[in-house]
Amino acid sequence: MHISPYEQGNIFNKDPLRDRKLLLNKSEINKLVGLIKQKGYTLVPICLYFSGNFIKLELGIGKGKKLYDKREDIAKKDAQMRIQKEFGKRV
C-alpha cells in the first residue's frame, strides 16, 4: 500500500512503498484464508483510519452476486433512467 510521506517531515520519513505488517493471530489469518478459498468469497478492505502511530484497516469477507441478482439490479437502473428521462422531457 502506498502511504504518502508527511510533507512537513524531515529526513527520517519512511519509504511510502515499504512492506507493512498485518497484525493478526495465526488462527485469524487461517480463518480468512479458509473463507477466501471458498467459491465466490473475497477479502475486501472496508475502512482505513489512523490511530496514533498505526494505520488501521478493517477487513471484510464479501460474496459475489448471482447472475439473477445482477439482472434485477440492471432492470432497476434501467427503469430509473427511463423515469428520469421522462421527467426531464416534461419540465
Q: What is the pTM of this model?
A: 0.51
pLDDT, tens only, 70-81: 788 888 899 999
Pick 37 or 21 by higher pLDDT.
37
- Amino acid 27: pLDDT: 93
Bridge partner residues of 56 (DSSP): 49
Residue ranges covered by each domain of the chain: 26-64
Q: How distant is the alpha carbon of residue 29 from its chain centre?
A: 18
Q: What is the pLDDT of residues 24-80, one digit of tens each?
A: 899 998 988 888 888 778 889 899 888 887 888 898 888 877 777 778 888 889 999
Question: What pLDDT score does 90 carry?
Answer: 65
